[in-house]
Amino acid sequence: MEIKKIKGNTFCIDTGMTYLPFYKINDEEIIMLDSGWAKGERKGIEELLEKNNFKVVGILCSHAHIDHIGNNAYLKEKYHCVIAMPAYEALVCSSNVNLKVYYSSQTLSDVTERFGHMVCETDMMISENQDRICMCGIQFKIFHTPGHSPAHICITTPDDVAYLGDALISYEVMEGAKMPYAYILREDLKSKIKLYDLKCSKYVVAHKGIYNDITELITDNISFYKNRAERVYSVIDGAMTMEDILKAVMKSFHIQVNSRYRYAVIERMLRSYVEYLNEIERIELKMDHGFLKYSKAPYSKLV
């Protein structure tokens, strides 16, 4: 792990897997943009913070995913820092029961065991129409990009550096991603289009890259997600249940599923693509002898 300077007082921790930006208020106090993954990154992040004598006074979060807010509760306890997050994301991680509503296909016990450490108290809730936030005297701009998660945001620091969280993925991730995650793909694609209007001097993608211009990256992300949806569409043969599609996708995408947890993750990822295809009327959903079955729409629209 190492620290990279981005611009002015905006830096990021390169955890290997992720860029975690932070804003340096002075030599000691920092505001983190997301807090990282607990299992694989906490130790390294903590060592780096201590080595530099940094004190975390605030955490401003893009969205409530395990690899982005995994150290919120831990760092809040250690540094007594304030936490800000979009209101809906804050609600999701406010209790195990609320996490279970989000991760609905897993039991409360499984959710508590796997995601329980994400539960944290949020001090400042960011509303849907809020376009800036002042944290510890520092002004950040907020750009709403729902879709990847219900209330995902991008955050711009006073140095005009935009942290895009998971609103976009890098070329490196695209190479290895079989079915990148979007909670509501149609909204996520709309948010990606909105990003063409975000004019900043630097952009940080969480997984992972720093860019001066993201125009091409946005276009390539949109085609990548749409292409993945097309690949899901291409496995649909006749009338299929969600499980039939899942089975066909695992085979066609060479996805191995060897645990209940992995099954839940893959099923959730696939559901977004199937719902998207259904929403844009490429496939339709019908009842068939008591089963819900998807089939290609007879006059499929070209998208």
Q: What's the helix, strand, coil split of the chain in %, to 5?
A: 40, 25, 35
Least distance to Zn ion, CB of residue 56, Å: 21
Query: For Zn ion, which stretch binds (CB under 5 A), given 59-67, 73-81, 242-250, 280-288?
Result: 59-67
In the chain, the amino acid numbered 180 is: P
Query: For Zn ion, which stretch binds (CB under 5 A), given 64-72, 115-123, 219-227, 267-275?
Result: 64-72
Q: Rank residues 101 and 292 by Cβ distance to Zn ion and give the closer one.
A: 101
Query: For Zn ion, which stretch binds (CB under 5 A), given 18-26, 62-70, 83-91, 288-296?
Result: 62-70
3-state SS assignment for residue 6 = strand
Q: Rank residues 168 and 280 by Cβ distance to Zn ion and give the closer one.
A: 168
Number of amino acids touching Zn ion (CB under 5 A): 2
Least distance to Zn ion, CB of residue 249, Å: 21
Query: For Zn ion, which stretch binds (CB under 5 A), given 45-53, 88-96, 159-167, 242-250?
Result: 159-167
- Let me know the angle formed at the C-alpha of 51 by 57 and 54, rounded to the nearest 5 degrees: 15
CA–chain centroid gap for 115, Å, is 15
CA distance 145 to 266: 23
Can residue 65 be called a binding residue for Zn ion (CB under 5 A)?
yes
Least distance to Zn ion, CB of residue 98, Å: 17
User: Using an 8 Å Cβ cutoff, are 5 and 11 in contact?
Assistant: yes
CA distance 260 to 264: 6
Can residue 192 be called a binding residue for Zn ion (CB under 5 A)?
no
CA distance 222 to 152: 17
CA distance 26 to 53: 11
DSSP per residue over 129-174, as a string? T--EEEETTEEEEEEE-TTSSTT-EEEE-TTSEEE-TTSS--HHHH
132 forms bridges with which residues in the sheet?
Answer: 141
Query: For Zn ion, which stretch binds (CB under 5 A), given 165-173, 222-230, 234-242, 287-295?
Result: 165-173
Residues 261-280 close enough to bind Zn ion by CB under 5 A: none
Least distance to Zn ion, CB of residue 186, Å: 17
Residues 78-137 close enough to bind Zn ion by CB under 5 A: none
Residues 202-221 close enough to bind Zn ion by CB under 5 A: none
User: Using an 8 Å Cβ cutoff, are 264 and 114 in contact?
Assistant: no
Query: For Zn ion, which stretch binds (CB under 5 A), given 9-17, 63-71, 102-110, 131-139?
Result: 63-71
Least distance to Zn ion, CB of residue 146, Å: 12
Q: Spell out the residues 6+ positions from residue 121 whose beta carbon is closer than 8 angstroms to its own.
A: 73, 76, 83, 94
Q: Rank residues 64 and 75 by Cβ distance to Zn ion and give the closer one.
A: 64
CA distance 83 to 33: 10
Can residue 166 be called a binding residue for Zn ion (CB under 5 A)?
yes
Which residue has tokens 């295809």? Answer: 277
Q: Rank residues 67 and 280 by Cβ distance to Zn ion and give the closer one.
A: 67
Among candidate residues 110, 181, 192, the one with its CA nearest the CA of residue 145:
192
Q: Rank residues 65 and 228 by Cβ distance to Zn ion and give the closer one.
A: 65
Q: Rank residues 42 and 65 by Cβ distance to Zn ion and give the closer one.
A: 65
User: Applying CB under 5 A, which residues contact Zn ion?
Assistant: 65, 166
